[in-house]
Amino acid sequence: MRSLIQTLLAPVVWVADKLGTRREVSRDEPEQARVDQACEGLALYQFWSEPECIRVRREITRLGLAIETRDARLEPEHSKTLKEQGGKLEVPCLYIHESEGEERWLYGAQPIIDYLKGRFGE
């Protein structure tokens, strides 16, 4: 039943996600370039219509971040990677590849939002 409801509401969710969030953090060009480069080591594993994933994507937009999103429901390879390397099939999950080569998997909307605000904050 939940799957049917999510399917029916998917277009509404998409419109709300795209139109309901605006970028609130502005940076000068060199700073934005530095942030964009730092975002290359990040990827959000998510389900497109999952409410907690929407919260994280809205924060990404609000902070003006260019983070790749990977749908673990629609793409079997992302689902497999999330389960095998991240340890569990749970979304949202932020993959973090640090410049020193360390990899981390951060689960949960609020911890991800807190991490993004702390690293790229306001």
Q: Which CATH superfamily is domain 30-121 in?
A: Glutaredoxin (3.40.30.10)
Phi, psi angles (nearest 5°) of residue 116: -65, -40
Per-residue pLDDT of the chain (122 residues; tens, 9 = 90+): 556 665 666 665 555 555 556 668 888 899 999 999 999 999 999 999 899 999 999 999 999 999 999 999 999 999 999 999 999 999 999 999 988 889 999 999 999 999 999 999 86
What local confidence, expressed as pLDDT, does residue 101 receive?
85
What CA–CA distances, in Å, run from 114 to 29, 82, 101, 106?
24, 21, 22, 11
What local confidence, expressed as pLDDT, does residue 24 receive?
81
What local confidence, expressed as pLDDT, does residue 13 receive?
57
